[in-house]
């Protein structure tokens, strides 16, 4: 299941280092790049909301097999892309696939964990997710730069890698009991709404930064370096996500709130350095910003997912996790549209700097909220009787 999650996310991020070539080939602006990315998020979110409760009702396998098939179709659409419309179609197929798979795969990992350890399951989920986000840009960058058919081969490799993932889904245990599924709006159990709101907001900010890296940072790095090497942009994204994965491994076992409160200031620091890197045209500063922001994002995401995973009721596990992923993917998709529009008007460097400063400020505000929430919810020590 972890491999299936890793490969699905790898496929959705293969286009990251290729967007500059698509721009040159089809003649569109940075805003169009972010709109193509946002189309993926626009269908992903309703797919999440439908598939999470559906898999709770009919079982994981019945939802995951169609999701893998849609992912393969998305890769085929990219491989045969002949216009901007093909890119939109491919991203829509990928969004439907990942939306259908994210909640059920995360829930399946929890259910299949041999000792029932939800904290360990959350770690595997987050590392597989971030690993796929990072592997996609590197794999596509290497193949596009050094192998033939740069806009076809990465997606052909992805389809081959999906074969073992499909086999893993096929051998999933059948649903023990089938219940009726009814479409419903997202609803978080009352007992965990505060945790969901704070953890969801912290993760939203972390994934807004990932959205920026996945869409515009490859071009940002190319502008700072003057290099046209496709691997450079993919490597910048992968470095951020590698640091995120390593931070999660090092943070494993620590309280969820502690992880979030350590991650947010690091994320803010990395964003400030990202803005300075553009102002000073400094690749070393960009490298430092990437490492620090990735570390902060990893800690904040692991803390948020751990808190939500632990608080979710067993009968609504995939439902709650799918709602949490809605928050995450809103963070990935919505802010970058604004950055893309700003880049079209004011230039890429200025747009990234404004975004970095604004999100850094929000991270500090969220840190203050977490500190106050932790203070107000901490147990009061019993008073001694006179």
pLDDT of 4: 93
List, in sequence order, the alpha helices (H) in the chain.
2-12, 19-26, 30-58, 60-79, 84-112, 118-146, 153-170, 193-215, 217-225, 230-251, 256-280, 283-311, 317-346, 348-377
SS3 content of the chain, % helix, strand, coil (to 5): 85, 0, 15
The answer, yes or no, to whether residue 177 has pLDDT greater than 80, is no
pLDDT band at 326 (very low <50, low <70, confident <90, very high): confident
Residue 63 CA to residue 103 CA, distance in Å, equals 10
Residues 34, 255: Cα–Cα separation, whole Å:
35
Q: How confident is the model at residue 288 (pLDDT cuts 50, 70, 90)?
A: very high
Nearest to 369 by CA among 206, 199, 203, 251: 199
Neighbours of 190 (CB within 10 A): 7
Of 36, 284, 296, 7, the closest CA to residue 129 belongs to 7
Mean pLDDT of 314-324: 74
**Is the pLDDT higher at 10 or at 116?**
10
- Please answer whether residues 107 and 60 qualify as being in contact, where contact means their C-beta atoms are separated by less than 8 angstroms: yes
Whether the per-residue pLDDT at 362 is higher than 60: the answer is: yes
Q: Are 96 and 201 in contact (CB under 8 A)?
A: no
Nearest-5° Cα angle at 57, 51 to 60: 60
Rounded Cα gap, residues 364 and 4, in angstroms:
35
Cα(209)–Cα(375) distance, rounded to whole angstroms?
28
Percent of the chain with pLDDT over 90: 34
Using only C-alpha atoms, what is the Rg of the chain?
Answer: 20
Domain 2-172+190-377 of CATH type 1.20.1250.20: yes
Quick one: three-class SS letters along 139-157? HHHHHHHHCCCCCCHHHHH
**How many other CB atoms are there within 10 angstroms of residue 149's CB atom?**
12
- The 3-state secondary structure of 194-212 reads HHHHHHHHHHHHHHHHHHH
pLDDT digit string, tens, across residues 96-138:
999 889 888 888 888 888 888 877 888 888 788 888 888 888 8
Per-residue tokens: 243: 């640091």
Q: Which range has the worst mean pLDDT, 24-38, 259-273, 372-386?
A: 372-386
Q: State whether the Cα torsion 227-228-230-234 is positive or negative.
A: positive
Q: Is the pLDDT of residue 338 over 80?
A: yes
Q: Which residue has the tokens 């189309």?
A: 39
Kindly report the length of the chain: 386
**For residues 132-152, average pLDDT:** 89
pLDDT value at 376 more than 80? no
Mean pLDDT, the chain, integer: 85
- Other Cβ atoms within 10 Å of 175 Cβ, number: 15
pLDDT in tens, 343-358: 888 888 898 899 999 9
Average pLDDT over residues 259-282: 93
Of the candidates 325, 251, 349, 335, the residue with the CA atom closest to the CA atom of residue 48: 325
Model's pTM, two decimal places?
0.76
Q: Which two structure tokens, joined as six digits, stand for 282?
A: 């400094």
Write out the E strands in the chain: none
Q: Is the pLDDT of residue 301 over 60?
A: yes
Phi, psi of 177 (to 5 degrees): -145, 140
């Amino acid at each position: 299941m972890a491999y299936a999650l890793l490969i699905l996310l790898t496929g959705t991020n293969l286009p990251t280092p290729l967007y500059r070539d698509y721009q040159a080939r089809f003649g569109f602006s940075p805003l169009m790049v972010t709109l193509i990315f946002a189309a993926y998020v626009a269908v992903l979110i309703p797919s999440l909301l439908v598939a999470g409760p559906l898999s709770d009702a009919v079982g994981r396998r019945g939802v995951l097999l169609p999701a893998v098939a849609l992912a393969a179709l998305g890769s085929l659409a990219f491989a045969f892309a002949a216009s901007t419309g093909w890119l939109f179609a491919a991203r829509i197929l990928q969004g439907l696939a990942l939306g259908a798979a994210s909640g059920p795969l995360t829930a399946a990992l929890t259910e299949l964990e041999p000792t029932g350890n939800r904290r360990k399951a959350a770690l595997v989920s987050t590392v597989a997710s971030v690993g796929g986000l990072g592997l996609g840009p590197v794999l596509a960058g290497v193949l596009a730069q050094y192998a033939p058919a740069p806009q076809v081969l990465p997606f052909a490799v992805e389809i081959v890698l999906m074969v073992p993932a499909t086999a893993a889904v096929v051998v999933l245990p059948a649903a023990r009991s089938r219940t009726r599924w009814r479409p419903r709006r997202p609803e978080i159990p009352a007992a965990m709404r505060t945790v969901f709101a704070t953890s969801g907001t912290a993760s939203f900010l972390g994934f807004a930064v990932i959205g920026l890296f996945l869409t515009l940072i490859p071009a940002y790095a190319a502008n700072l370096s003057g290099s046209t090497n496709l691997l450079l942009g993919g490597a910048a994204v992968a470095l951020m996500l590698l640091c995120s994965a390593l931070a999660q491994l090092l943070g494993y076992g620590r309280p969820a709130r502690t992880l979030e409160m350590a991650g947010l200031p690091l994320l803010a620091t990395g964003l400030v350095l990202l803005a300075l890197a553009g102002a000073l045209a400094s690749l070393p500063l960009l490298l430092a910003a990437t490492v620090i922001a990735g570390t902060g994002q990893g800690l904040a995401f692991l803390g948020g997912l751990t808190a939500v995973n632990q608080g979710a009721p067993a009968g609504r596990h995939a439902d709650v996790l799918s709602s949490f992923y809605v928050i995450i993917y809103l963070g990935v998709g919505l802010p970058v549209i604004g950055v893309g529009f700003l880049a079209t008007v004011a230039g890429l460097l200025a747009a990234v700097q404004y975004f970095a400063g604004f999100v850094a400020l929000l991270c500090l505000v969220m840190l203050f909220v977490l500190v106050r929430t932790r203070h107000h919810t901490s147990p009061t020590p019993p008073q001694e009787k006179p």
